[in-house]
Structure 1
Amino acid sequence: MTQVLRKVVTFDEFVAKYPDNTGQRYELYDGVVVEMPQPTGDHEEIIVFLSTKITLEYSRLGLRYGIPKTVLVKPLENESAYSPDLLLLNLTNLVNEPRWKKESTVTQAASIPLVIEVVSTNWRDDYLKKYADYEEMGISEYWIVDYGALGGREFIGKPKQPTFLVCCLEEGEYRISKFRGDDRIQSPTFPELNLTAEQIFRAGTVS
């Protein structure tokens, strides 16, 4: 479970204090600093797998994209800031980001072709709050990787099963496509990406 650390703060106060020297990850939810739980090994293996496949794809296409280590995504409409599990940056737009140079923070959808969250115990953040804020920001594509079938039944069905959700912005709202098993992932950002949901889920079960 996430743990609230202190009273309401502004984004400027947040970036001035965090990250601290503990090595812990933090996010800001409407002014409340939240300590993120330590991810499992399965969670991290999926991130490694996806980052490798995506890097190969944007390199093959000659796109000036990159996957950073630590960057904050800040919605303009509230005092929140997220550190996504995987963030794809459009490097050419960073010159237009006012908080980039000093705070490695992006606020514009043009800087974010794709954002990915791998679901853990705090699944409501990925399915509800981050979903709403990424949509409001106008981020064109958002992947939710629910390899452990942790999300609510309204999102992944009953009985629950591992589900890969691709949320694509259409007329200001996300349209959700769900993929399971041998379904090939359909991504507007990378239409030639040849990956199935099961391949991605299996990345978290490497022995």
Structure 2
Amino acid sequence: MVQALERSLTFDEFLESYPDDENLYELMNGAVVPVKPTGPHGRVSAFVLRKLIVEVEKEDLPFFIPQTCYVKPQSDKAGYLPDLVVLDERTIDEDPRWQKESTISKGTSAQLVIEITSSNWRDDYERKLPDYEEMGIAEYWIIDYLALGASRHIGSPKQPLITVYQLLDGEYQFMQFRGTEPVRSQVFPNLSLSVDDILAALQPRPK
């Protein structure tokens, strides 16, 4: 699919031509891009997912976390597949794309979107960030556990961090958390999670 489709696609065309090959893809500026998470990337995602599920159940929050969810920004040439999306049970049925496409197109459908950086870190910081802001998604995290982002995004010297963007008057304001600093989230105010927790989860357990 990636080699055969050289012309720029709309999001609807992207969904219609999506291959049945068990691989994952995103649409970036009309181009189909394969998503190939590494093993450590998958472990980070699984660890954070477990933490969030515990909070949802403990606090009895009206949220759920789908296995797969596309986010379609206002551009008709893009469709993103975040690492984690926390959807709102109270508003999701108002999203016209959810029932048939497992896709959200309204900012009110999601409480939180999380991207975990990899070699395509520029997409997380420079492409998806403004699109999620424009959609009105209330909270967006970038988990940069390998400190891959440019210094203009994560500071210098580079070190692993979580950047939390929260919508205020239509614009994202951000906070950055390193080391043992607990993430401060409006969506999960009682969550206990730090960068060191994530890094520790990547260490092999003693036999």
Alignment of 1:108-187 (within 5 A): 108-187=106-185
Cα deviation, 1:29-66, whole Å, max 9, x if unaligned, reads 12221112x21211111111111110110111111211
Give the structure 2 partner of residue 28 of structure 1: 27
> Per the alignment, in what secondary structure is the counterpart of residue 169 of structure 1?
strand
* Cα distance between partner residues in 2 of 1:200 and 1:146: 10
2:14 corresponds in structure 1 to: 14
Q: Which runs of 5+ in 2 are unaligned?
A: none
Offset at residue 96 of structure 1 (A): 0.6
CA distance in 2 between partners of 1:165 and 1:201 (Å): 16
2:202 to 186, 201, 204: 204
Aligned partner of 1:73 in structure 2 is 71
Note the aligned Cα RMSD (angstroms): 1.7
- Distance in structure 1 (CA, Å) of the matches to 2:165 and 2:5: 31
Q: How many residues align?
A: 204
| Compared CA separation, residues 148 and 3, structure 1 to 2 (3 A) | farther
Q: What TM-score comes out, normalization by structure 2 length?
A: 0.93
SS at 2:57's partner residue?
helix
Q: Is the 8 A contact 1:72 1:104 kept in 2?
A: yes
- The whole-number CA distance in structure 2 between the counterparts of 1:107 and 1:3 is 27
1:44-63 aligned at under 5 Å gives the runs 44-63=42-61
**What amino acid is the match of 1:108?**
K
State, as a whole percentage, how many aligned pairs show the same letter.
44
> What one-letter code is carried by the residue in structure 2 that aligns with 1:55?
I
Q: Distance in 1 between matches of 2:29 and 2:38?
A: 26
The answer to whether the Cα contact below 8 Å between 2:74 and 2:131 also exists between their aligned partners in 1 is no
1:94 corresponding residue in structure 2: 92
Q: Which amino acid in structure 1 is aligned with residue 143 of structure 2?
A: V
Judge conservation of contact 1:4–1:34 (CA < 8 Å) in 2.
no
Shift of 1:3: 8.9
Query: Which residue number corresponds to residue 38 of structure 2?
Result: 40
